[in-house]
Amino acid sequence: MEQTKQKVSFTNEISRMMFGFGDSHAPNPDTVQLVEHITLLQLRTIIQEALKYSTDGATLKGEELVFLMRRDKHKMRRFVKYLQNKKFKGTNPHQIGGMNFDPEEKPKCYLMQFIEKIDETGEFIDLSEVDEVKLEREIRADRMSQVLNEEQYIEFSKARCASFCSKQITMSNLERLKIWIDPIGKITYRLEALEVLAYLAYQTVAEITDYALLVRMDAKYHDPLQHFNNSYYTATMFNSGHKFGAINIDHSRVYTGQDPISIDEIKEVLRRIRSPQGGVLSLGGKLPETHFCFAL
């Protein structure tokens, strides 16, 4: 009973994550709290939607959460890549460097098997296409790292490693996440479900930060005469000129004076997500409850 009364917060981790994704060296504490609030609400919404596919309506498994990701092949591919990287982390490094290493030798995890089961066209596990969002994040991080001194680079590297769970994923170190999401403890969570929730929470913070930075660029460089195109960000929100490679941003200002992401910028992100400028193609069907969730 004492455990359910604990007040759990991930503001410290979210603050480091936002810095690692491109926010100021010292993110605004009020903005961080808002991002935490949004992330928590979205996770709870995702859980309630996923429980509709549960056998008993009270036990959450990883496959129900993964099933909700099926509407966006790009995000599903990113999750597949995450599972693959997690698989390779447990491989002997001497084996990887040798001639006898077989990436298929280690059995596929339960979630990967489920993804292959629902992947009728093979598009979820096709990683040949460049992940533009991931690439843009890496370019942004690389540009930031190039202007940092050694001490700042170490701090930035630690921020880039921040997440909602430790590297060694077990039920015990995911307990804090479970209490944060469900302090009353009405739902039974399988270990892989908590792992997926930690991943979705991480991606939510990443997407909010991405969008907030694009909102800022939109305010500075917006051309109202330019048309929207079908790229990842611009289909519903942003202009094509906002690609990170289009403007040579001074990333050194992350340490020397860049304003932290503001609450107003986060609110503008939410406004655009809920009321997309490009419209929503529902094909006459009812939109899922999770249609506004960043990680899905």
Tell whether 232 is covered by a domain: yes
Tell whether 177 is covered by a domain: yes
Tell whether 289 is covered by a domain: no
What does the pLDDT look like over 62-78, one tens digit per residue? 999 999 999 889 999 99
Which residue range forms the structural domain that includes residue 196?
Answer: 3-274
The count of structural domains within the chain is 1
Tell whether 284 is covered by a domain: no
Q: Do 74 and 133 form a contact (C-beta atoms < 8 A)? A: yes
Give the C-alpha separation, 229 to 227, whole Å: 6
Which amino acid, one-letter code, is at 36? Answer: E
Tell whether 102 is covered by a domain: yes
Tell whether 286 is covered by a domain: no
The CA-atom distances, in angstroms, between 81 and each of 78, 128, 200, 232 are 5, 11, 14, 18
Give the C-alpha separation, 101 to 94, whole Å: 9
What does the pLDDT look like over 111-161, one tens digit per residue? 999 999 998 888 999 989 888 888 888 988 998 898 889 999 999 999 999
Read off the pTM.
Answer: 0.83
User: Strands, E, within 93-185: which ranges?
Assistant: none
Joined together, the tokens standing for residue 100 give 């006898």
Tell whether 206 is covered by a domain: yes
Q: Do 239 and 218 form a contact (C-beta atoms < 8 A)? A: yes
Which letter does DSSP use for residue 189 in this model?
A: E
What does the pLDDT look like over 22-58, one tens digit per residue? 999 999 999 999 999 999 999 999 999 999 999 888 8
Q: Do 260 and 23 form a contact (C-beta atoms < 8 A)? A: yes
Phi, psi of 59, rounded to the nearest 5 degrees: -115, 125
Give the C-alpha separation, 79 to 84, whole Å: 9
Tell whether 33 is covered by a domain: yes
Which letter does DSSP use for residue 184 in this model?
A: T
Which letter does DSSP use for residue 82 in this model?
A: H
Joined together, the tokens standing for residue 124 give 């979820």
